[in-house]
Amino acid sequence: MSKVGIIGAGAWGTALACAMKRAGNDVIIYAHEKETADAINSRNINKTFLPEITLDSTIKATNSLEKATQADAVLLVTPSQYFRKSCEILAGIWRQGVPAIVCTKGIETQTSSLMSEIVRETMPLVRVAILSGPTFAMEVADDLPTAMTLATDDETLGKLLMEVMTTKHFRIYRSRDVIGAQIGGAVKNVIAIACGIVKGRGFGENSRAAIVTRGLAEMVRLGVAKGARPETLSGLAGTGDLILTCSSTQSRNFSLGCELGSGDTLENIMKKRVSVAEGVSSAPSVVSLAQKIGVEVPICSAVNDIISNRVGIEVAISNLLARPLKEETI
């Protein structure tokens, strides 16, 4: 495998382009915006989404989905709420035998579908893998040491992709738990918003630690009910991603929560941002999935209530603290 296509030229797609190039692959990245593709091709920079990084001059960008899928493997990095539409378009041009590596973290709002389920519905013959774990785009692009989980139920594909994607500073661990890798990536973004709200409100580190810990319990409950393995959610795609996202303002979701906690409105915060904070769309999706399979996710529900303007932050926090006392369990 020598050519990798990437669908999505946001910060994460661009960072993955850097990593795939370092792994020795030819890389072509699809950008929706013509100016983004032009800047990558002419100046080796993604000025809109990752302006701090100078890209390898051999990384090429295109506004053509067909050109981007003329590859040996294709990474899908489209935001979760546009993911199905993207796959429906790609289904008509996808080359036989080319695997899809889902790099999007989220759950579809309308259907509660995981991204892998959308791929299998729209492109049923395509082999699917999930790439997830604790990453900040800037650090991956800057070649700082990183470890991720690659989940696929196709053992041969998993072993091949590990070899193709791994570099000295970009380490891949293989898993067969496709569901767990995705539940971890979706839930942690919602919990990160909660942690940010606590930080912005000035409630201290005790509160944040409690949110992280009980948030992990929600992640595991939901994942296991959906069919995940609990050990996956103790690994990079679960606990690892949760720790990273809930502890740094580099996280778009944590920083958004900080601004909410400090009194800004969601509408105003979103106006100031170019990049997507997936937790905003994941909150209602996570809650909807939890309701469908009969799992309690009180922290995720509180975040959903806050961003939906159903309750204020003080009321949401009071409601969480007023929940019945219970034994500590997952």
Beta-carbon neighbour count of residue 168 at 10 Å?
9
Confidence label for 329 from pLDDT (cuts 50, 70 and 90): confident
Nearest to residue 136, comparing CAs of 127, 145, 123?
145
48: three-class secondary structure by DSSP: coil
The CA-to-CA distance between both ends of the chain, in Å, stands at 42
181: three-class secondary structure by DSSP: helix
Q: Is 34 a catalytic residue?
A: no
The predicted structure's pLDDT at residue 1: 57
Instruction: Give 114's DSSP letter.
Output: B
Query: Which of the listed CATH numbers 3.40.50.1820, 3.40.50.300, 3.10.129.10, 3.40.50.720 matches domain 3-176?
Result: 3.40.50.720
Residue-wise pLDDT for 247-281, tens only, equals 999 999 999 999 999 999 999 999 888 777 888 99
Residue-wise pLDDT for 109-152, tens only, equals 999 999 999 999 999 999 999 999 999 999 999 999 999 999 99
Question: E strand or H helix at 159, and its extent?
Answer: helix 155-165
Nearest to residue 151, comparing CAs of 174, 118, 184, 117?
174
> What contacts 242, CB < 8 A, 6 or more positions away?
184, 187, 188, 191, 192, 212, 215, 216, 219
Residue-wise pLDDT for 191-249, tens only, equals 999 999 999 999 999 999 999 999 999 999 999 999 999 999 999 999 999 999 999 99
Residue-wise pLDDT for 2-24, tens only, equals 899 999 999 999 999 999 999 99
34, 85, 159, 188: the active-site residue: 188
The predicted structure's pLDDT at residue 2: 85
Which CATH architecture group holds 179-321?
Answer: Orthogonal Bundle (1.10)
The predicted structure's pLDDT at residue 21: 98
Sign of CA dihedral 254, 269, 316, 305: negative
Residue range(s) of every CATH 3.40.50.720 domain in the chain:
3-176
Residue-wise pLDDT for 29-84, tens only, equals 999 999 999 999 999 999 999 999 999 999 999 999 999 999 999 999 999 989 99
Dump the DSSP string for 216-277. Answer: HHHHHHHHHHHT--TTGGGSIIIIIHHHHHTS-TTSHHHHHHHHHHTT--HHHHHHT-SS--
The predicted structure's pLDDT at residue 186: 96
Residue range(s) of every CATH 1.10.1040.10 domain in the chain:
179-321
Residue 107: strand pairing partners:
114
Confidence label for 284 from pLDDT (cuts 50, 70 and 90): very high
**Phi and psi of 8, rounded to 5°?**
125, 115
Residue-wise pLDDT for 101-110, tens only, equals 999 999 999 9
- Which pTM value belongs to this model? 0.95
CA distance 71 to 88: 18
